[in-house]
Amino acid sequence: MTKVYISGKFYEKQDAKISVFDHGLLYGDGVFEGIRIYNGKVFKLKEHVDRLYESAKGILLEIPVSREAMTEAIQRTVQTNDRKEGYIRALVTRGSGSLGLDPRRTTDPQIIIIVEEISLYPRELYEQGMEVISVGTIRNHPSALNPRIKSLNYLNNIMAKMEAIRAGCLEAVMMNHKGEVAEGSGDNIFAVKNGSLKTPSLDSGILEGVTRNLVIQLARDEGGQVAETALTRHDLYIADEVFLTGTACEIMPVVKVDARTIGTGKPGAMTKRLREAFTKLTHT
């Protein structure tokens, strides 16, 4: 039975509740992180906790515990649920307030940690590759809500996901305000051309993904060229390989973009090498 951590206490899943007046619920006012567990170890925990606190700072939300206490709470929740493999959702809300936007009227920010299983995509897609489609819903403008803030308000991403699903795909490719490739609804995106790896830069208006950063490092460790740069749809169409990265999806090959077959129509060599290196790193 899943036990959920809420602000220092554990509750059975069916009893895990917060106030309906919490601004996290009313306005999506809060931040979160998704983290993986491999072989009983929380993967890249420091990086995720650091990003959680950076996101909170970005929205002027003061998390009521230290980073060390948050780290300990996450580890304790994993141990309490006796998880060797799985997914962690750690989130912080603004707290309970009034039916109004004024955050000064909120009190008692809530820290919630959930540990569960996750299966974002069917296992066979990791061997066969996925088809994606670019959508009309653009990524939030960085001057409105910076995508590097991992906030509880995910409606932008959800609307893009809905477009993809209606088109018969499981994932979307979102453009930024300049019409350049940004990212998926929940993943970063990479393209391979002539042996070089390219991915949208942070100033393209994307989330700085923990898995994205790891894949860049893995590619560089094997001597590969990596460019963080602006990409267009055309860059994806003519790529030799395309893949997605994320904590939940890990490394997912893409074999079609907007009905254009990518490369040979099968997961490419670099994608496979990076997946193997990632798996070795997470399961040893």
Residue with tokens 């590619």: 219
List, in sequence order, every residue forming a beta bridge with 151; answer none if it has no partner.
31
With a CB cutoff of 8 Å and minimum separation 6, the contacts of 209 are 187, 188, 245, 246, 247
Element of type H or E holding 219: helix 210-221
Query: Given 3, 13, 57, 150, which residue is catalytic?
Result: 150
With a CB cutoff of 8 Å and minimum separation 6, the contacts of 25 are 18, 19, 93
Q: Reduce the secondary structure of 188-215 to three states and give it as a string.
A: EEEEEECCEEEECCHHHCCCCCHHHHHH
Helical axes 210-221 vs 269-282, angle rounded to 10° = 110
Catalytic site includes residue 150: yes
Q: Round to whole Å and give the CA distance between 42 and 44.
A: 7
The tokens of 69 are what? 């206490």
Are residues 37 and 86 in contact, defined by beta-carbon separation less than 8 angstroms?
yes
Q: Round to whole Å and give the CA distance between 158 and 162.
A: 6
Give the pairing of strands 250-257 and 241-246: antiparallel
List, in sequence order, every residue forming a beta bridge with 227; answer none if it has no partner.
198
The tokens of 81 are what? 């649920």
**Catalytic residues, which ones?**
150
